[in-house]
Structure 1
Amino acid sequence: MTAPAIVLVADGPDDDAVNSSLAAIRDDLRAARPDLRIFLGRVGGPEPSLEGVVAALVEDAVGEAVLVPLDLVSAADHRPELDTFHRSPDIHLAVSRPVGPASELLNILDERVREALHRGGALEIDGLILAAPAGGDVRGSSLLARRARQWAAHHRIPVQLAVEEGSGRATASAVASLRAQGRRHIAVGSVYLTPTPDYQVHAHAALRAGAIAVTAPIGPTPHLRQLILARYAFGAMELLDGTPTQLSAEVLEGEES
């Protein structure tokens, strides 16, 4: 039996840099798993639209697919529009949990921080900011706060969490808070998947406020690839069983610790 297809579900503006980054994530996954059919579907307007991708799968007689939301700030909830596809009579679909703020995210951010420091010629840091866009679910917000605490414990330096509404104020305020504590070598870890305009605003705000380095968006990385495949695996199990996989808060707690 053919494995279900993977459809990476992403939102965001119709922007060349965003589109290229999302395509790179899809292509990285395809290169790693040539045995799987992997597609990218956009919601909110940009092409390739999720509607068009699902229609093409139906036309190609693909019987099953797992929709994997590329959302880094929600841990359990997905966009309501995805439930419409979930009930499609022409193809069996499962909607996986979002990628979310998993613990592996800190490994990616550590790599991005090192890259940012190298670009800026900096040698050390004495403060960190974990910056993420607003809009996640309650569980995701709780996990982001936990990631900030874990990051602080790992590096043994203060870490501020900044949840951005799009203006850059939260990041700038977090930088100011650390500077008020006497910290002068502050790096910002950006929990943004792609270089959206909101990412650019937050990055500029951080640098204006005195940060010495701001990480690039997550983009394609082996850690992200493994997270996507893990979400896909759970979704594929749901298709096999024929019933939704409901994970309790206790299971999520242990899985994301």
Structure 2
Amino acid sequence: MIHQPVLLVIAHGSRDARHAATVHALVRRVRAARPDLRVETGFLDFNVPSVPGVLESLAADGVRDVVALPLLLTRAFHAKADIPAVLRAAPARLRIRQADVLGPSPLLTAALERRLREAGLSPADKSSTGVVLASAGSSDPEAIAVIADIAREWRHTGWCAVRPAFASASLPRTEDAVRELRALGCAKVAVAPYVLAPGFL
């Protein structure tokens, strides 16, 4: 019988193959950093293995304890409803704890800063650059409020302005936020995608 908890990373899934490839690459890095920890990946939709399939396999392997980590940036519908539902349907022998979502976190904001530097912005550009914090979007008011809060806090690190934007389900759209920043007089505008992997949801 296996007593050590297994980490189950739960990703959304996408028809775009880059999504699963990015998730698998991330999990490989986690496994390399923690060779003592069994790490499995399951997808809610579009990709395999599915979360129910992984849970069945873990139970068959004699696993008792599972920590389910949603690979999500906000507590929206998937974290509040979809994931708890699929975990409740897991084999009864499994003891499952659902971890919190990844964001908001200063580590994520630091990663966004690194990506903007990699895109060519220098620290000297900050005061004249407006940033669009572009997320996937959600119909969940709590998730939308979190994105707005991140944008407000990030603005205080020296950017000309930071505006939230959404690809779907919410407003404003990214192009509208870009126009707003230009109208504010920001000399440059940068778009920082607040997503974990490429692909259509």
**What band does the TM-score fall into relative to the shorter chain?**
0.7 to 0.9
Query: Which moves more between the two structures, 89-98 or 131-140?
Result: 131-140
What stretches of structure 2 of length at least 5 have no aligned partner? none
Secondary structure of the corresponding residue to residue 197 of structure 1:
coil
Q: Is the 8 A contact 2:134 2:194 kept in 1?
A: yes
Correspondence for 1:85: 87
Query: How far does residue 48 in structure 1 lie from its aligned partner after superposition?
Result: 1.2
Distance 1:193 1:39 in 2: 18
Correspondence for 1:234: none
1:153 aligns with 2:156: yes
Give % identity. 29
Q: Identify, as 1 or 2, the structure richer in strand.
A: 2
Query: How far does residue 82 in structure 1 lie from its aligned partner after superposition?
Result: 3.1
Distance 1:149 1:167 in 2: 17
Query: How far does residue 105 in structure 1 lie from its aligned partner after superposition?
Result: 1.5
Q: 1:87 to 1:94 in 2, by over 3 A?
A: farther
Q: Is the 8 A contact 1:75 1:139 kept in 2?
A: yes
Query: How far does residue 96 in structure 1 lie from its aligned partner after superposition?
Result: 1.7
Query: Which moves more between the two structures, 164-173 or 17-26?
Result: 164-173
Correspondence for 1:110: 113
Distance 1:51 1:156 in 2: 44
Query: How far does residue 101 in structure 1 lie from its aligned partner after superposition?
Result: 2.4
TM-score, with length taken from structure 2: 0.86
Q: Is the 8 A contact 2:15 2:200 kept in 1?
A: no
Report the aligned-residue RMSD: 2.7
Query: Which moves more between the two structures, 94-103 or 70-79?
Result: 70-79
Distance 1:97 1:25 in 2: 18
Pick aligned residue for 1:162 from 152, 165, 190: 165
Distance 1:132 1:83 in 2: 25
Distance 1:183 1:51 in 2: 48
TM-score, with length taken from structure 1: 0.68
What stretches of structure 1 of length at least 5 have no aligned partner? 199-257
Correspondence for 2:52: 51
- AA aligned opposite 1:147: I
Q: 1:136 to 1:192 in 2, by over 3 A?
A: farther
1:187 aligns with 2:190: yes
Distance 2:137 2:159 in 1: 26
Q: Identify, as 1 or 2, the structure richer in helix.
A: 1
Distance 2:85 2:105 in 1: 23
- Could you list the per-position Cα deviations for residues 120-155 of structure 1 after superposition, in whole angstroms to 9, with x for gaps in the alignment? x9x735211111111274433322222111111112
Secondary structure of the corresponding residue to residue 36 of structure 1:
coil
Q: Is the 8 A contact 2:165 2:173 kept in 1?
A: yes
Distance 1:63 1:91 in 2: 5
Distance 1:70 1:79 in 2: 15
Query: How far does residue 172 in structure 1 lie from its aligned partner after superposition?
Result: 0.4
Secondary structure of the corresponding residue to residue 150 of structure 1:
helix
Correspondence for 1:6: 7
- AA aligned opposite 1:72: L
Distance 1:167 1:160 in 2: 13
Correspondence for 1:174: 177
Q: 1:136 to 1:94 in 2, by over 3 A?
A: farther
Query: Which moves more between the two structures, 179-188 or 34-43?
Result: 179-188
Aligned length: 196
Secondary structure of the corresponding residue to residue 48 of structure 1:
coil
Q: 1:90 to 1:136 in 2, by over 3 A?
A: farther
